[in-house]
Amino acid sequence: MTLHERYVVGCATVAVAALVTISPTRAQVPTQPQEAALNAEAAQNDWPTYHGTYKSYHYSGLDQINTGNVKNLEVAWMHFPERATRGIQSTPLALDGVLYYSGSYSRVYALDGATGKTIWAYAPELDEDLVSKQTHSPYNRGIAIGHGNLYVGTVDGRLIALDLKTGKPVWDTKLLDSKKMTVGFTGAPLVVKDKVIIGAQGGEWPHRGPIFGVEGKTGAKKWEFFTVAGTEEAMKTWGGDSWRTGGGGGWMPGTYDPETNTVWWGTANPAPLYDWGGADWKKSGPRPGENLYTTSVIALDPDSGKLKFYHQELPHDAWDFDSSVGEFVMIDRGGKKLVVHANKSGYIFVYDRSNAKIENVWPLVKNINFVKSIDPKTGELIGRRDLSEGKVDPPLCPAIAGGISWNSGAYSPKNGLFYRIGQEWCMELTVEKTTPILEPMAQLNIGATFKFIPPPDGPARGHLSARDPVTGAKKWEVNYKEPPLASVLATAGNLVFVPDAEGIVHAYNADTGEELWSRNNGMGHNAGIISYMAGGKQYIAVPAGWGSLVADEFVALYGEPFKSMPKNTGALVVFALRQ
Amino acid sequence: MRIPSVIIASLALIWPCLSIAAFAQQSTGAGAENPLPQAEASPNDIDGEKMFATTCGFCHQDGGRHAGRGPKLSKSERSDEYIVERIKKGKPGAMPAYGGVFSDGQIIAILAYIRGLDD
């Protein structure tokens, strides 16, 4: 037996079959979020979908916990998942007093929302040999609920439906050939009517990043949309054969606009990340042309999977600033129906919801030099810096981790403010010509070596700002030594919660930014944060647990506490007011 | 297949003196008496620097000269065996295993690239 084989066998013995415990007391649990709750602005008693509601505000309408009493917030209960490799990166859901969340290896837990008592737990058997060869693995970033099921994707390319009441598998559909593509699913699915929709991983991975529409009841695949060259028009924007290895995964969940029956989804960057075509990128380099529909927001018909319209945020993205990050915040303002979307580059795009026409573009972060600016009327990139082989001078801003990371911001309909975390850092970069590696399985296609450095205006750092989502006008800002990498929660109690990188959860006054409460969870946050009601009482739930690929950068950038911070553990921490 | 560390060490030593093409030639031509493995690769695949920039540079910054997601690799005091083992086996939750992905010849080319790095 070679060492490699021994290792694989060792891992296989760790694989655990589903373990199921059923509590007979919970027979009355509704198994489906109400449509009205999904379409509302605020999540009320439940947190029924990844972004809170389809409006994607990450906003709770609960106000038992508020600016007056938040100082009395304390830990109600905790839950520790098994095998939290790369921490916990998921956003929990809550339905009728039950909290559901996923951990690494797509393990799923259903817990009594008031006590934390386990109702059921599920652990799929994964292809452990494949997992050991994966880079963006084995974390899972979230789940969806609908049709009496709970849905979770796996890194080995499957979408699994579990019975919401019992946690027993209902169906298990293989959607991707992950052994060949190397990547699978880490992002949360989205339930839309009779379908469950999920996007594959992969920007720097040479494939075509499909998004799938699957029938909730049966698990049958109904449609597949290729984000790379998925239409005739798009095929023309990839020189030669480059569409075959284009990247472009839709690895974070988008949302749904019921008024127009449209699914909004963001797509990843093309591969290789860094293109040596320089100013001649339309004709030369590894992927000549605009590379549709990478680094784009796309609008799909959920029934057919057909493209309705799109906007490519960065045509021919040569910097790895993809559009798959972030939520689609649906705002009605001055008779206009708008949607606000954060791009990894640090720019925020505001669109007309009926056609993805640009209404405004504004920068959230200061250190941006991959373009001079973006035209706020047309979205056109002005003064773009297309890179050639060799050292890039001056260094590129922001760094590869982006001006904005993949976790979500929040919007309060109460005061009209949008809360988003921005990152200030740059990197030295040397572009190198590479050839995609496809055999025997796909490998990262980066096309450069790089090194993080502080931006010209100060240390590498992060900030939370409260702004008008349409104009970008800033009301207040809080600065952090290290960028927080978790999602943000706004509540009707006039609070904004920020779980930070060092492990502290902060609660701020939503109008002023004044810090009103904080608590140390003991390890960095890399996940979502939600609020829900159980037994008439409001809870705040936040997974602690460190270890995303961006988090990995913090050791070299900041040293302690990250040098000593474990990346293979985590806990779900749930807070409530002291009795 | 295990690679005798003597061979790795000697390859690493002579690496800086060899052009990429010469290295590829030597490893493919090594034939029966030399246990150097399936380097059926094109010169492209066996270019350690290029492979590093394609895949490894995502985590080992500045071409392996600087700590990032993964540690600095230049001037490593680790043995050749250790480095080859790490590349093959990876580390769960930290680094992917490349043993089933790259041929031994490719891994040796990457090792030679790492050994040739200045700070």
Q: What is the pLDDT of residues A63-120, one digit of tens each?
A: 999 999 999 999 999 999 999 999 999 999 999 999 999 999 999 999 999 999 999 9
Beta carbon pairs, A and B, within 8 Å: 109
- Chain A contact for B116 (CB, 8 A cutoff): no
Question: Is pLDDT of A526 > 70?
Answer: yes
Assembly ipTM: 0.87
Provide the pLDDT for residue B8: 43
A490, amino acid identity: A
pLDDT confidence bin for A19, thresholds 50/70/90: very low
pLDDT confidence bin for A31, thresholds 50/70/90: confident
Question: Is pLDDT of A203 > 60?
Answer: yes
**Which of A75, A340, A310, A323 minimizes the C-alpha distance to A203?**
A323
Dump pLDDT digits (tens) for A171-188.
999 999 999 999 999 999
Provide the pLDDT for residue A28: 52
Question: Is pLDDT of B35 > 50?
Answer: no
Give Cβ neighbours of residue B49 (< 8 Å, ≥ 6 apart): A432, B63, B113
Mean pLDDT of chain B: 73
Q: Considering CB atoms only, which of A3, A86, A450 is closest to B57?
A: A450
Dump pLDDT digits (tens) for A434-482.
989 999 999 999 999 999 999 999 999 999 999 999 999 999 999 999 9
- Chain A contact for B91 (CB, 8 A cutoff): no
User: Residues B112, B36: contact at Cβ < 8 Å?
Assistant: no
DSSP for A260-305, please give it.
TTEEEEE---BSSSS-TBGGGTTTSSSS-S--TTTTEEEEE-TTT-
Strand partners, A224: A212
Give Cβ neighbours of residue A401 (< 8 Å, ≥ 6 apart): A423, A425, A452, A550, A553
Dump pLDDT digits (tens) for A36-70.
999 999 999 999 999 999 999 999 999 999 999 99
pLDDT confidence bin for A564, thresholds 50/70/90: very high
**Which of A397, A450, A396, A456 minimizes the C-alpha distance to A423?**
A397
Question: Is pLDDT of B12 > 60?
Answer: no
Residue labelled with tokens 């990371």: A405
Domains and CATH numbers, chain A: 3-64+126-487 (2.140.10.10)
Dump pLDDT digits (tens) for B64-106.
999 999 999 999 999 999 999 999 999 999 999 999 999 999 9
Provide the pLDDT for residue A6: 41
User: Residues A169, A162: contact at Cβ < 8 Å?
Assistant: yes
Q: Considering CB atoms only, which of A133, A434, A552 is closest to B69?
A: A552
Provide the pLDDT for residue A326: 81
The answer to whether the CB atoms of A132 and B96 lie below 8 A apart is yes
Q: Considering CB atoms only, which of B57, B96, B99 is closest to A4?
A: B99
Between CA B65 and CA B73, with CA B69 as vertex, the angle to 5 degrees is 30
Mean pLDDT of chain A: 94
Provide the pLDDT for residue A12: 37
Question: Is pLDDT of A412 > 60?
Answer: yes
Neighbours of B65 (CB within 10 A): 16
Question: Is pLDDT of A23 > 50?
Answer: no
The alpha-carbon gap from A319 to the nearest alpha carbon of chain B, in Å, equals: 13
Question: What number does CATH give the domain B5-115?
Answer: 1.10.760.10
Using CA atoms, how far residue A171 sits from A153, A218, A224, A384, A512, in Å, is 12, 7, 19, 47, 48
Residue labelled with tokens 């109600």: A76
Question: Is pLDDT of A156 > 70?
Answer: yes
Q: Is A172 a catalytic residue?
A: no
pLDDT confidence bin for A418, thresholds 50/70/90: very high
Suggest the residue from A6, A129, A434 to mutate for an interface test with chain B (most B CBs closer than 10 A). Answer: A434
Question: Is pLDDT of A291 > 80?
Answer: yes
Percent helix, strand, coil in chain B (nearest 5)? Answer: 50, 5, 50
Provide the pLDDT for residue A21: 39
Residue labelled with tokens 């449209």: A262
User: Residues A277, A284: contact at Cβ < 8 Å?
Assistant: yes
Dump pLDDT digits (tens) for A249-277.
999 999 999 999 999 999 999 999 999 99
Question: Is pLDDT of A213 > 90?
Answer: yes
The alpha-carbon gap from B39 to the nearest alpha carbon of chain A, in Å, equals: 14
pLDDT confidence bin for A144, thresholds 50/70/90: very high
Question: Is pLDDT of B6 > 70?
Answer: no
In this prediction, residues A524-551 reach a mean pLDDT of 98
